[in-house]
């Protein structure tokens, strides 16, 4: 990106830089996770309210990161604050360690919204949810190789930390991708026990899965790649049938798409049911949570009541009342008449405006997504999988993101845009104005080169 824009960023955000430098002394890279970094240093935020964020230097932003999509009611929604307060008022604690009366209620709500979820277990994160889903799938199928899709992210555990964002030149043929480790420190075992599939290419998936039918027990996927690239409905249905025929457990990782694409996730949108579903993010109403649910006979493998051994799963904070009650409060609001549809309509309208404004400034730009999430891609080609996604112009998008930040719009550079119930009226108008100005400046910068 242009040096001038970086300098403008640095001169606007000295306090974020100071806090980043201090953090780097005690925290690797100054961040609590690989995905929380961007160059030259990420903003530090000190306050948030509704749809707005404030950084450590006092600048205000409309938040489209929304804690990586977790905050469907925006920041500090009164119903969530009240739910958290009531947990202490009613129970006198944030955690019993064992059961509380409320986790069953949230399990029942999830079951109503996701009929494929006959039983479920809560975890503390999406990562833990997909980890348990894979373990259950291996136990249920009796086969220990996992098939995952190129470019799909399921949290940072070994079995799925392959081919998350590989360099396409190092990732083998498009129809037969090879597993590329996404981290140092991954034992060879995992590349040897992972098969990588190409999204939206049914014939290639069928050929790979039939060839590997004696080894692969679990197929895990984001039903919308990266949370926003739709599966072709026929592809998804045929994959569902194929995995059933081959005795493979199909896992939909709906940590991103759950309660965001539709209230009932991508599976509601497509009318296709997985054997197991991983959930997280919005389910906890802004507090840490995850869940794995699905077919009863698979979930029952984790029951300690089972004779002859069980799938191990436990966690100090699993089902803690703070996360569960924040989740219940959030879902109650989202299920209110017109509420979720309102977010869908706002997203639709914003996407149209962004495309109009970008095209008016002369860019081949498109928004891709379903429901209350989308990405902005500078590309002329169709976006259907990891490789077509990778062909979009990232440099231009990065520049746009820094121009938007200067005008008070934040999604984290190169990240998706998520909306919430509080992204309405003035917030959207402000966003459109910022996009209009940013596209214009982007055009001028490119013309001046």
Ligand X SMILES: Cc1ncc(COP(=O)(O)O)c(C=O)c1O
The residues that touch ligand X, with contacts defined as CB under 6 A, are 68, 125-127, 130, 153-155, 222, 227, 253, 255-256, 280, 290
Judged by beta carbon, residue 5 or residue 255, the one nearer ligand X is 255
User: How far apart (Å, rounded) are the C-alpha atoms in residues 106 and 431?
Assistant: 34
Largest pairwise CA distance in the chain: 73
Provide the token pair at 281.
């993010």
Judged by beta carbon, residue 283 or residue 442, the one nearer ligand X is 283
> Nearest approach, Cβ of 253 to ligand X (angstroms)?
5
> Nearest approach, Cβ of 266 to ligand X (angstroms)?
11
Strands, E, within 281-319: which ranges?
A: 290-294
Nearest residue to 420 via CA among 125, 77, 110: 77
> Nearest approach, Cβ of 134 to ligand X (angstroms)?
12
Q: Sign of dihedral through CA atoms 379, 384, 390, 391?
A: negative
3-state secondary structure (DSSP) of residue 126: helix
Alpha-carbon dihedral 45, 46, 48, 52, rounded to 10 degrees: -50
Count the neighbouring beta carbons within 10 Å of the beta carbon of residue 1: 16
Catalytic residues: 153, 253, 281
Judged by beta carbon, residue 130 or residue 438, the one nearer ligand X is 130
Nearest residue to 41 via CA among 68, 90, 6: 6
Judged by beta carbon, residue 210 or residue 414, the one nearer ligand X is 414
> Nearest approach, Cβ of 5 to ligand X (angstroms)?
27
Buried b (16+ CB within 10 A) or exposed e, 254-292: bbbbbbbbbbbbbbbbbebbbbbbbbbbbbbbbbbbbbb
> Nearest approach, Cβ of 257 to ligand X (angstroms)?
8
Residues 6+ apart with CB under 8 A from 22: none
Alpha-carbon dihedral 87, 90, 95, 96, rounded to 10 degrees: -160
> Nearest approach, Cβ of 273 to ligand X (angstroms)?
18
User: How far apart (Å, rounded) are the C-alpha atoms in residues 245 and 21?
Assistant: 55
Cβ-proximal residue to ligand X, closest one: 126
């Amino acid at each position: 990106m242009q040096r001038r824009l970086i300098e403008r960023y640095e001169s606007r955000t000295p306090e974020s830089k100071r806090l980043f430098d201090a953090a780097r002394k005690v925290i690797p890279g100054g961040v609590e996770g690989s995905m929380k970094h961007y160059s030259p240093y990420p903003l530090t935020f000190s306050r948030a309210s509704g749809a707005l964020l404030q950084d450590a230097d006092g600048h205000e932003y409309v938040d489209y990161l929304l804690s990586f999509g977790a905050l469907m009611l925006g920041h500090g929604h009164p119903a969530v604050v009240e739910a958290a307060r009531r947990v202490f008022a009613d129970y006198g604690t944030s955690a019993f360690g064992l059961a509380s009366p409320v986790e069953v209620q949230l399990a029942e709500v999830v079951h109503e919204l996701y009929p494929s979820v006959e039983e479920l277990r809560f975890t503390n994160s999406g990562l833990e949810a997909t980890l348990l889903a894979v373990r259950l799938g291996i136990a249920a199928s009796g086969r220990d190789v996992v098939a995952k899709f190129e470019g799909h992210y399921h949290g940072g555990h070994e079995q799925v930390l392959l081919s998350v964002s590989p360099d396409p030149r190092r990732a083998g043929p498009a129809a037969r991708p090879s597993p590329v480790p996404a981290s140092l420190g991954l034992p060879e075992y995992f590349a040897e026990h992972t098969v990588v599939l190409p999204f939206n290419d049914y014939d290639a998936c069928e050929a790979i899965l039939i060839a590997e039918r004696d080894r692969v027990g679990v197929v895990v996927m984001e039903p919308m790649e990266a949370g926003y690239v739709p599966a072709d409905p026929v592809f998804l249905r045929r994959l569902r049938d194929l995995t059933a025929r081959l005795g493979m457990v199909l896992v939909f990782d709906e940590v991103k798409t759950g309660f965001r694409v539709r209230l009932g996730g991508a599976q509601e949108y497509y009318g296709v049911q997985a054997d197991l579903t991983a959930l997280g993010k919005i389910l906890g109403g802004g507090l840490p949570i995850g869940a794995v649910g699905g077919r009863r006979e698979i979930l029952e493998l984790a029951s300690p009541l089972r004779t002859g051994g069980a799938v191990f799963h436990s966690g100090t904070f699993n089902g803690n009342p703070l996360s569960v009650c924040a989740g219940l409060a959030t879902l109650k609001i989202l299920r209110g008449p017109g509420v979720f549809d309102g977010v869908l309509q706002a997203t639709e309208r914003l996407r149209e405006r962004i495309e109009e404004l970008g095209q008016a400034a002369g860019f081949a730009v498109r928004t891709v997504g379903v429901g209350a999430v989308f990405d902005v891609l500078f590309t002329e080609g169709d976006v259907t999988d990891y490789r077509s996604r990778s062909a979009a112009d990232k440099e231009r998008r990065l520049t746009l993101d820094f121009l938007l930040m200067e005008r008070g719009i934040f999604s984290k550079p190169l990240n998706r845009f998520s909306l919430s119930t509080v992204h309405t009226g003035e917030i959207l108008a402000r966003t459109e104005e910022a996009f209009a100005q940013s596209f214009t400046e982007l055009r001028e910068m490119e013309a001046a080169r």
